[in-house]
Structure 1
Amino acid sequence: MAMEPSTYPEPDVRLARLAGAVGLSATWPPTDALLDVLAERTGLRTHDLLLVADLPVPETAWLFDETAGASSSLVSRSLALPEAGRRLLRDRARSMTAPPGTLTPWEPRPHEQYPPGFGSLLLRMLALRNLNWSGAAKVMCLMSGVCKAASTIGAVGRGAKPLDAEMLDGFAATLGVPGAVLAALTGVHRSVAGPALAPEVVDTATLVWEVRHLTRDQESLLTEYAEASGSQ
């Protein structure tokens, strides 16, 4: 049974929860300045916050090569690199642009159309990173140690599986956001406050964001670069 929608608050409440988690007061509707400060303090991206607030996300944010996205190979290599290597990898990813005409608008498939709920909100944040259920499951396992089947990730989005503390930690690591921030947003109780995200996890979450609009070939080149950097 899907239980989340009945407890899913209005967007102004959701944004206020995030603001309160980082010591801010939220205004409604939110100003660009507020969204910028919230993004800086929470670790979420401005586009994530637009989803939280039910505000339009630019159409260009949904342009992808759906065969691409951060691969397990790229993520695992990034996690293993030293800080300087991770920085160079992110810089290289940031400098790359997909060739014209290679990206297409994302069209959610029937199984990716979810009822309102925190699970669906988090899955749409992952979709902004060009991560489908399978990609999200692999990346989450590598980045957090929370290893679930792709179908389980989808069940959270549909509200068929509750968003519990373990899954919340998995989403937090994949997004590069402190678990306490997502706990404040969702109201999911964490019996034990987890440790702060390791620097390599935060950096790799940034890399996942940076590669979202790259093609599969470009992502493969980045993986080769990361592998070469790790062997030096």
Structure 2
Amino acid sequence: MLQYRNLDWTGMAKALALVTPTYLSAATYGVIGSGREELTPRLVTDFAALLGMDARDLAALTGVDLPELPPPPPTEAADAAALLWEARRLSAAQAQHVADVARSLRTDSQDTHVTEPPGSDTC
């Protein structure tokens, strides 16, 4: 599902770190994705937020039991999910242009808002 939004393991790690409480390495997501590590209820909830779908539906698809009803995703996650869905058909050049414009628009706010995951040079 994340590939349909043009996210590889690194893109997924960055996106989840920005809009959910979860910060894991791209390699860790690769291990989870290959089935060598367990998919947790927390990750199901975070993935669902990034995919713009109900966490209960994703839990049913993955076979992960959610011990409690998850809260609604944060606004940032819902906005990111919508943006990822709309941007899925952009070419690499178009996506780069959008990223460049977004970076130029946020230069005034970089001092007051965290916009990159720790250790990241670009989004």
Q: Same fold (TM over 0.5)?
A: yes
Relative to structure 1, the CA distance from residue 208 to residue 229 in structure 2 (aligned partners, 3 Å threshold; closer, same or farther) is farther
Out of 69, 78, 101, the position equivalent to 1:193 is 69
- For 1:18-33, what aligned pairs fall within 5 Å after superposition? none
Q: Number of residue pairs matched?
A: 106
Question: d(CA) in 2 for partners of 1:178 and 1:144?
Answer: 15
Query: Are positions 1:127 and 2:26 aligned together?
Result: no
Out of 141, 151, 154, the position equivalent to 2:17 is 141
Query: Are positions 1:216 and 2:96 aligned together?
Result: yes
Structure 1, unaligned stretches of length 5 or more?
Answer: 1-124
Larger radius of gyration: 1
Query: What RMSD in Å do the two structures reach over aligned CA positions?
Result: 2.2
The 3-state SS of whatever aligns with 1:215 is: helix
Identity, % of aligned pairs? Answer: 34
Question: d(CA) in 2 for partners of 1:215 and 1:205?
Answer: 16
Structure 2, unaligned stretches of length 5 or more?
Answer: 111-123
Counterpart AA for 1:164: T
Q: Is the Cα contact below 8 Å between 1:172 and 1:179 reproduced in 2? A: yes
Q: Is the Cα contact below 8 Å between 1:183 and 1:189 reproduced in 2? A: yes
Out of 49, 52, 59, the position equivalent to 1:183 is 59
Superposition TM-score, scaled by structure 1 size: 0.41
Q: Is the Cα contact below 8 Å between 1:143 and 1:201 reproduced in 2? A: yes
User: Which has the higher relative contact order, 1 or 2, with Cα contacts under 8 A spaced 6 or more apart?
Assistant: 1
Question: d(CA) in 1 for partners of 2:108 and 2:64?
Answer: 39
Superposition TM-score, scaled by structure 2 size: 0.74
